[in-house]
Structure 1
């Protein structure tokens, strides 16, 4: 049973990588709804947290998303962390529509839809929305990076607009990590032919700390954007 004395936060993509680190960090003093597509990966995270419950949903399915969102009766913060990278050819001259649809559907459309569905609860609680974006949402992409960067630029625009629409009611923060030591980053770099060295990357826990910073800002303050980068220079 949820602890009613704790703030309730939904972390999408909470079963792995950055999302799992965020769920663990916030789980110390929040009730966490751990988002993921499969109970097999979500339930172990729920089990290790003091107060948590699963949020099982394929965010690419608008009807499943609406059903899952309608079951939530209280929410104080939403951390949109679920995302996918590019699989297969990433160059503009090689990638077909399915590549574009897959990335934009999860990284932009699903984020906008879930946020829309949960806004009434967040308005009622004067809550927080945190978008986990990427350095790719700031920087000029290199060869093969156009699809992912396009999604992250779109997510940044969505976040800016949402912030102004909800200003004074819901706080909206955009967090832009550089390269983070996750399985997604391993796949991205393998696809680019770069050697992978974990110590050259941010730890997921470092990104989780920035989420906590945003959520713990004093009532009159809103952290609008944060960029967190590895110290290592390639």
Structure 2
């Protein structure tokens, strides 16, 4: 039975991935920002274990994990959590920059650093759910795109560094995907939100699981998923 640590399992793509892995009987370790959220995740995925660690405060992740029981080995680390706040560069405050950079880039880097020993033991896999904004930046998307461009750099460097240890690294770049984050984006853009226009989170989950389940004689470095309609 494979063991996966997942961030962002409470909604959207993260929930779809966690549900699929849970249904096939894999062992899940779900990261929650606080004890209340951990309780919610445990009720959503009976039998799954939870860890508490706030991605918005990456400096505290090492301390947080040290207070809890972490498996000796992990088959995958799935970075799916993310936050977004749109706005023109001329109006973005340091607080807005830091909030997105911390959750979308610094926390994944720190969590990966802390869990690499367990991933190396299993010759496991790190998957970063990035974004189309990690490949191209548009107006109003500067801070979010910067965090996701940084996430691409993190994945690319990690892939080269961990190849000798047998750890695979994959980046998934979804286009606009239905879910709470997309609803927030539309609100910030002043547009009406219609989930049917965008990618179903289950479709992104299918692409992610294809990379995760690929036989060990190959690896998928980058996957781009775009709306089909």
Asked if Structure 1 and Structure 2 have the same fold, meaning a TM-score greater than 0.5 normalized by the shorter chain, the answer is yes
Distance in 2 separating the partners of 1:229 and 1:166: 29
SS in 2 for 1:86: coil
Residue of structure 2 in register with 1:161 after alignment: 157
Q: Give the Cα separation in 2 of the matches to 1:217 and 1:133.
A: 19
1:20 and 2:12 equivalent?
Answer: no
Q: Comparing 71-80 with 104-113, which one deviates more in the overlay?
A: 71-80
Question: Whole-Å Cα distance in 1 between the matches of residues 43 and 91 of structure 2?
Answer: 43
Q: Does the aligned pair in 2 maintain the 1:39–1:54 contact within 8 Å?
A: no
Answer yes or no: is 1:181 the counterpart of 2:193: no
Counterparts in 2 of 1:142-161, with a 5 A limit?
A: 142-161=138-157
Separation in structure 2 between the aligned mates of residue 38 and residue 182 of structure 1, nearest angstrom: 22
Residue 49 of structure 1 corresponds to 45
Tell me what 2:56 maps to: 60
Give the SS at the match of 1:124. Answer: helix
Q: Is the 8 A contact 1:202 1:230 kept in 2?
A: yes
Q: What corresponds to 1:98 in structure 2? A: 95
Any idea what SS the aligned residue of 1:111 has?
helix
How far 1:224 moved relative to its partner? 0.4
Structure-2 residue corresponding to 1:40: 36
Deviations 1:76-115 (A, max 9, x none): 110011111116xx10011111111111111101110000
**1:172 and 1:224 in contact (8 A); partners too:** yes
User: For residues 159-199 of structure 1, what are the alpha-carbon distances to aligned partners after superposition, in whole Å with 9 as ceiling and x for unaligned?
Assistant: 00000101141000000111111111111111112221111
Unpaired runs of 5+ residues, structure 2, are none
Distance 2:58 2:151 in 1: 18
Q: What's the counterpart of residue 194 of structure 1?
A: 191
Displacement of 1:68: 3.9
In structure 2, the residue matched to 1:3 is: none
8 Å contact 1:30–1:51 — kept in the other structure? Answer: no
**Residues 20 and 45 in structure 1, CA contact (< 8 A), matched pair in contact too:** no
Query: What TM-score comes out, normalization by structure 2 length?
Result: 0.92
Q: Which residue of 2 aligns with 1:229?
A: 226
Segments ≥4 residues shifted beyond 6 Å: none
Give the TM-score normalised by the residue count of structure 1. Answer: 0.90
State how far apart, in whole Å, the 2-side matches of 1:36 and 1:19 are. 12
Residue of structure 1 in register with 2:79 after alignment: 80
Partner of residue 7 from structure 1, selected from 2, 5, 20: 2
Residue-by-residue CA offset, 1:119-153 (whole Å, 9 max, x unaligned): 011001100100000011112x2221111111111
Gaps of 5+ in 1: 1-5
Alignment partners' CA distance in 1, 2:213 and 2:200: 21
The whole-number CA distance in structure 2 between the counterparts of 1:216 and 1:62 is 29
Contact 2:29 2:50 in 1 (8 A): yes
